[in-house]
Amino acid sequence: MQCFAHTLETLTQAVMSQEIFISYRRKDTGGYAGRLFDYLKKEYGAENVLFDIEVDATVEELRSWVKRVIPRSAVVIILIGENWLENSFKRRRLDEKDDIVCLEIELAIKNEVPLIPLLVDGANFPNISELPQSIQKIALYKGYEINNSFWKAKFQVLIHAISSIIKNHTPIINKGVKSWNSWRKENESIHPNLEGANLEKKNLEYIDLSFSILRRANLRGANLRGAILHHADFTNAILEDVNLESSEGNETDFIHADLTRANFKNALFNKADFSHANMNEANLTGTFLEQCQVFGVSIWDAKLDNAQQRNLYLGDPKTGNTFAVDSIETAVVIHLLLSGGGIKNIVDTITSKSILILGRFTPERKVILDALRDALRKHNYIPLLFDFQKPQLRDITEIISLLAHMSRFIIADLTDATMIMHELSFIIPNLPSIPIVSICEANCIITSMFEASLRYPWVLKPVLYKDEKEIIEKVYEIVIAPAEEIIAARKNSLIERDKNLQ
């Protein structure tokens, strides 16, 4: 039973299959039960050890709770002391009708919950003839000793017994990497169960977690540098800020794992499954990824310098189609296309709402353009503010041209036109379906090159404004409405053309 800082109701709701139930008599082994609870909760977490002290509940409420939780427990530890059978009046407690300890053992036997008899301070194991028939099966279980003189050694023996029953190996990994790796070598056939384990900020450098089950485990900020992760299962695990530098794994599962800011530098993963993993801001510098499943992965702001990527697979669960790409960024784009209703829907959404804003981004000018961007959002547009460094091996004009093709219309700030005229000279003649709305501070000088562009019907005369406040207040009147008029006129013109062709 659990330390009753909580109500019986909340404890019942929290019961999980990994819980350890402590059965004891207060006047017989109450002190040992309390100490055992303190040690077990450090190993397995307080929420996984059920133990009562002074219960503020009626006998019937307590019995009702015991009937609910024991059938769902993983193991029941029975503390047997000198007076476990009899009280101070030499009356057999187990024969009493309402004996709670007898009820606990009966429930465990009936529901096939494993028992661990714990003999306290040299107490003898009861003879089978001394036990009521309903609990005589307790004699089939191995008894373990516990005493204060050799507490730590005896407690470790108990931990191994518990772990062998509930198949949870958190206590072993808590002893450190050296002990864990040594245990793994001696027990190569075991697939360690660390499901739900709290390993936050643990130093697990060079640990062997092959075939380990770490579903829903918390490894936030843990150090797994050089770890061996072959066939490990991190499904739904928390791995924020984890250090996986130089780790390696074959067929490792990171499905739906949170790998935000994870450090994969120089790691090697083959046939790993990163489906729907969150790898935003992760460092994959020098990482080797081959034949990995990456459908639905998120990699915003991830670092991929010198990463080697080969045959990354996108197995679409909706269609069963499989695509192989050599770039995780490409995989993200393809996933968006597959999951967003098709290329047409995505392109239609972008081209119907995106507004490309071009201009010189000095601190003074960027204030104006940022304010303009915010104003466009209020009218349900998606502003694309071109404000990033030129990518290596790509021409900046090519990128702006691509964005222009995806835009509903373009806003060009001519206050310092030298920065954008080169790009506009390519865009304007080739995109008659994209209106160009030019803006300029009242005292700016319009270049002759731009004036020559006004011969194109889709290029509007420059809009002069006094200050930021004026252009923001009049953004619909002087920017949006004129552009939309051109778009509407072109649409009507195409409709008329189609009618005439029929």
Output the CATH code of domain 169-339.
Answer: 2.160.20
* Residue among 383, 405, 406, 387 nearest 480 (CA): 383
Do the domains at 8-165 and 169-339 have one common CATH topology? no
- The CATH number of the structural domain formed by 346-498 is 3.40.50.450
Domain ranges of the chain: 8-165, 169-339, 346-498
Q: Print pLDDT tens along the chain (502 aa).
A: 333 333 444 444 333 345 799 999 988 898 999 999 998 887 776 777 888 754 566 778 888 888 988 988 889 999 999 889 876 556 777 878 888 999 999 999 998 889 999 999 999 998 888 899 999 999 889 899 999 999 999 998 898 888 777 777 887 888 899 989 988 888 787 788 898 889 999 999 999 999 999 999 999 999 999 999 999 999 999 999 999 999 999 999 999 999 999 999 999 999 999 999 999 999 999 999 999 999 889 998 999 999 999 889 876 545 555 677 888 887 777 666 666 555 556 666 667 888 888 877 677 777 887 888 888 988 988 888 765 444 444 456 777 888 888 889 999 888 776 667 878 888 899 899 899 999 888 888 888 888 889 999 999 999 888 888 888 888 999 899 999 999 999 888 888 887 877 6
- Of 1.10.357.10, 3.40.50.720, 3.40.50.10140, 3.40.50.300, which CATH number belongs to 8-165? 3.40.50.10140
What is residue 384's three-state secondary structure? strand
Query: Which amino acid appears at position 14 of this protein?
Result: A
pLDDT of residue 497: 82
What amino acid occupies position 144? Y
Count the neighbouring beta carbons within 10 Å of the beta carbon of residue 402: 11
| Residue 418 per-residue DSSP state | G
Which strand (E) or helix (H) includes residue 378? Answer: helix 363-378
Cβ atoms of 361 and 403 closer than 8 Å: no
**Contact by Cβ (8 Å): 343, 337:** yes
Residue pair 471/465 in contact by the 8 Å Cβ criterion: yes
Q: Cα separations (Å) of 500 from 118, 167, 321, 493?
A: 95, 78, 43, 11
Backbone CA torsion sign across 213, 219, 222, 223: positive
In 3-state terms, what secondary structure has residue 96?
A: coil
Inter-axis angle of helices 421-430 and 396-405, to 10 degrees?
40
How many whole angstroms separate alpha carbon 202 and alpha carbon 67?
A: 38
DSSP state of 477: I
Question: Please, which residues have CB within 8 angstroms of residue 309's CB and are 6 or more apart in sequence?
Answer: 289, 290, 326, 327, 328
